[in-house]
């Protein structure tokens, strides 16, 4: 995806404006999030074969059996973060890099983890070459987080976990929010707030469908 010539013209901008309006019509009312989505060319983050579908509100396949989340899900999770500019955020599950780009456009300091080396490599190239803000990519096991740069004001997980990983809770700053889909067949979107060291409050925010959150690192096949 990153190797092809990238363009972004008035036609794409028109598609994004219509997408933003569709998200607003579905109840997304965080104007900062909507503005960020309006600035990120989603068609750069999908396979060329799916580029004509990039601005439909739907998930699309990306390599390694993964998906790029539908824009509504990206907007919903981003809004749940209630993040303020310059906060430090850990994203678990870089995938194509689209969600990380949106977070970068929100003015956040983004540390994003990917376990699949081919996805990590392509996302890192794309995110580094384009102006999406302060985004740093790491090839890591998301279950372990990234403690060296913690604690984090916000943590966002973009894959379905059977339960909230303790390692991620331990890297959440007091006053911070962790947004994560939890469940097997369908997932509940949870927002976990750290109210004081070792004490958390959990809220449920509807049901969603994500690919599974898996452990370990998968290297490039040679």
Q: Rounded mean pLDDT of the chain?
A: 94
Collapsed DSSP state (helix, strand, coil) of residue 18 = helix
Would you state the pLDDT for residue 220?
Answer: 73
Residue 87 CA to residue 109 CA, distance in Å, equals 6
Per residue in 114-159, pLDDT (tens digit) is 999 999 999 999 999 888 999 999 999 999 999 999 999 999 999 9
Overall average pLDDT of the 29-35 stretch: 98
* Gap between the Cα atoms of 80 and 193, Å rounded: 11
Which token pair is 41?
């060319």
- Whether the predicted pLDDT of 222 surpasses 50: no
- Does 80 have pLDDT greater than 90? yes
CA-to-CA distance for 32 and 110, rounded, in angstroms? 16
pTM of the model: 0.94
Q: How confident is the model at residue 1 (pLDDT cuts 50, 70, 90)?
A: very low
CB of 28 within 8 A of CB of 36? no
pLDDT given at position 64: 85
Please check the confidence at residue 185 and state whether its pLDDT lies above 90: no
Measured CA to CA, the distance from residue 222 to residue 219 in angstroms comes to: 9
Q: Cα separation of 198 and 170, whole Å?
A: 8
pLDDT of 190-208, one tens digit each?
A: 999 999 999 999 999 999 9
**Mean pLDDT, residues 44-64 taken together:** 94
Question: Taking 50 as the threshold, does the pLDDT of residue 180 lie above it?
Answer: yes
Strand order in the sheet with 152-157: 135-139, 109-114, 88-92, 152-157, 172-182, 187-196, 199-208
Over 50: is that where the pLDDT of 166 sits?
yes
Residues annotated as part of the active site: 69
Are 99 and 122 contacting, i.e. CB atoms less than 8 angstroms apart? no
**Closest by CA position to 172, among listed 188, 190, 196:** 196
């Amino acid at each position: 995806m990153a190797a092809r010539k990238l363009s972004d013209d008035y036609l794409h901008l028109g598609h994004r404006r219509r997408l933003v309006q569709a998200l607003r019509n579905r109840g997304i009312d965080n104007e900062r999030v909507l503005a960020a989505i309006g600035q990120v060319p989603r068609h750069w983050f999908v396979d060329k074969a799916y580029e004509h579908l990039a601005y439909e509100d739907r998930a699309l396949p990306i390599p390694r059996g993964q998906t790029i989340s539908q824009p509504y899900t990206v907007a919903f999770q981003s809004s749940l973060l209630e993040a303020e500019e310059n906060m430090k955020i850990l994203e678990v599950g870089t995938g194509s890099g689209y969600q990380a780009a949106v977070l970068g456009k929100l003015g956040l300091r983004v540390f994003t983890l990917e376990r699949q080396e081919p996805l990590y490599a392509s996302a890192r190239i794309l995110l580094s070459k384009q102006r999406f803000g302060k985004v740093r990519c790491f090839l890591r096991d998301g279950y372990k987080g990234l403690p060296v740069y913690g604690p984090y004001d916000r943590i966002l997980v973009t894959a379905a976990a059977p339960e909230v990983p303790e390692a991620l809770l331990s890297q959440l700053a007091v006053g911070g929010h962790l947004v994560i889909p939890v469940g097997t067949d369908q997932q509940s979107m949870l927002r976990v707030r750290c109210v004081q060291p070792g004490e958390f409050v959990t809220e449920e925010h509807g049901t969603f469908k994500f690919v599974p959150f898996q452990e370990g690192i998968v290297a490039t096949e040679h």
